[in-house]
A and B are shown apart, each in its own frame.
Chain A
Amino acid sequence: KQEVTQIPAALSVPEGENLVLNCSFTDSAIYNLQWFRQDPGKGLTSLLLIQSSQREQTSGRLNASLDKSSGRSTLYIAASQPGDSATYLCAVRPGSGNTGKLIFGQGTTLQVKP
């Protein structure tokens, strides 16, 4: 059974710092992996999606990497800003079937202090 883990559960950094959020999964047979952002009491916004054949994706100050063989993904945030404060969730889509089901980690809550 696929399990997704995110460590740490919470992170607090000063503004301007570069940071890395971690996501690990137990079954390497994935179709893709997504990183989402969730603001308090809101829905999820997709940040980056990495296909199983890809190693990384970039969008602005965000860079996501994928190492399928070791079951790990990282989300790198450059030059963090207070507006980056939110919960970041990673989700894997299993490799079998075409249901589109996602399995989520518990999330990392990030606070960027001015």
Chain B
Amino acid sequence: DGGITQSPKYLFRKEGQNVTLSCEQNLNHDAMYWYRQDPGQGLRLIYYSQIVNDFQKGDIAEGYSVSREKKESFPLTVTSAQKNPTAFYLCASRTVPGDTQYFGPGTRLTVL
């Protein structure tokens, strides 16, 4: 089955800890994206990557970091500098050129 997987589904973090969210795709897509969703709000772009070893900041990149060492993987690290990290995190990918973004099932992060 082709698709996007995110792990873990639920993640709990203590204050001051860094955590890494996994995103893997086997769709052979070039571009990958990380979005954050807060209750009652739409998605906001954190980081995106259009090619391996290259990525750009989105609208709310502060307190987050990413890497793109392999085409199929785009992990997101939520650092202790992110003041309000509790949210639902969604990863997406698309072909380049291409129009439709395909989304993973999401990771819910809660800070204890």
Does A32 belong to the interface (CB within 8 Å)? yes
Asked, given contacts A99-B56, A100-B96, whether A46 binds B102 with beta carbons under 8 Å apart, the answer is yes
Contact A100 B101 (CB under 8 A): yes
B66 to chain A: closest CB distance in Å?
Answer: 15
Interface contacts (Cβ under 8 Å), in number, total 68
- Contact partner of A104 among B4, B42, B99, CB < 8 A? B42
Does B63 belong to the interface (CB within 8 Å)? no
Residues of B within 8 A of A107 (CB): 40-42
Interface size on A, residues (CB 8 A): 26
Contact B40 A9 (CB under 8 A): yes
Residue of B whose beta carbon sits closest to that of A36: B103
* Assembly CA distance A93 to B97 (angstroms): 13
- Contact partner of B103 among A43, A101, A106, CB < 8 A? A43
* Assembly CA distance A96 to B81 (angstroms): 32
B26-85 CB contacts (< 8 Å) to partner A:
31, 33, 35, 40-45, 48, 50, 56, 58
Asked, given contacts A44-B90, A107-B42, whether A102 binds B101 with beta carbons under 8 Å apart, the answer is yes
Interface residues of A (CB under 8 A from B): 4, 6, 9, 32, 34, 36, 41-46, 49, 51, 89, 91, 93, 98-102, 104-107
Interface residues of B (CB under 8 A from A): 4, 6, 31, 33, 35, 40-45, 48, 50, 56, 58, 88, 90, 92, 94, 96-106, 108
What are the nearest 7 A-B pairs in CB distance? A104-B42, A43-B103, A44-B103, A104-B43, A43-B105, A106-B42, A43-B106
